[in-house]
Amino acid sequence: MKIENGTKVLITGGASGIGKLMGEIVLKKGAELIIWDISQERIDETVAAFLPLGKVTGYRVDVSDPVQIASAATLVKQTGPVGLLINNAGIVVGKYFHEHAVQEITRTMEINANAPMLVTLQFLSDMIARKQGHICNIASSAGLISNPKMSVYAASKWSVIGWSDSVRIEMQQLKTNVHVTTVTPYYINTGMFDGVRSSILPILKPNRVARQIIRGIERNKIFVKMPWIIHIVRLCQGILPIPLFDFMVGRVLGIYRTMEHFEGRKI
């Protein structure tokens, strides 16, 4: 889709990280920006910083709460139809699966897996009725490749990828002219994965990731994968025996050791 003057763009988790960077990009293209975020302080700071760039509105929404999602969506729809929805909000708990508390598992799945579906459900019917719109779901390469100390996070992102691409096919079958883009980046240097060490594959730069995502949306790309080597890893995953694949990814590329010193974002 073309992001232009008057395009209403809603970004969850839009007051920090790549969500904030994508918001700045679409504002500069003339779009109207709507930010959902759990932190009112970050919302206020971001709205104040972005107001010189264009029209921007912020709502405090905990996307793990279906009631808050529905309430905020009602307010947003009263101001006009959303043309582009970017499901970006996410959390990560980096520990071995047996160390997780039940609350950590359920909250990760609520925010990373359930929320994109529930938020999309609020706006998709309107897009179908108008025969235009775009949904972008920020997943992760962790949804493609298993990784120690990321089991619950990986589960949530595998869920997003399967759901997101299924919706894409549904929209094509129904000839709705609603497009779906699924994004599967490697680690991004936003603070969310502080402490991660990647010796061979590069940790991605947030500004570049944000630009690539927006470019992918404007080109109606089905998947935005980064870096490019993820394509090769996926190919190897399909053709190599599992022990050999584990050796290549775990020992040669060192991916299975990346979370050993994970700290996460300081709150």
**Residue 63 structure tokens:** 């996307």
Tell me if residue 153 is catalytic: yes
How would you write the chain as a 3-class SS string?
Answer: CCCCCCCEEEEECCCCHHHHHHHHHHHHCCCEEEEEECCHHHHHHHHHHHHHHCCEEEEECCCCCHHHHHHHHHHHHCCCCCCEEEECCCCCCCCCHHHCCHHHHHHHHHHHHHHHHHHHHHHHHHHHHHCCEEEEEECCHHHCCCCCCCHHHHHHHHHHHHHHHHHHHHHHHCCCCEEEEEEEECCECCCCCCCCCCCCCCCECHHHHHHHHHHHHHCCCCEEEECCHHHHHHHHHHHCCHHHHHHHHHHHCCHHHCCCCCCCCCC
Q: Which of 59, 153, 186, 187 is catalytic?
A: 153
Distance separating alpha carbons of residues 156 and 158, to the nearest angstrom: 6
Q: CA–CA distance from 131 to each of 135, 170, 263 (Å)?
A: 13, 14, 44
Phi, psi of 33 (to 5 degrees): -105, 135
Residues serving a catalytic function are: 153
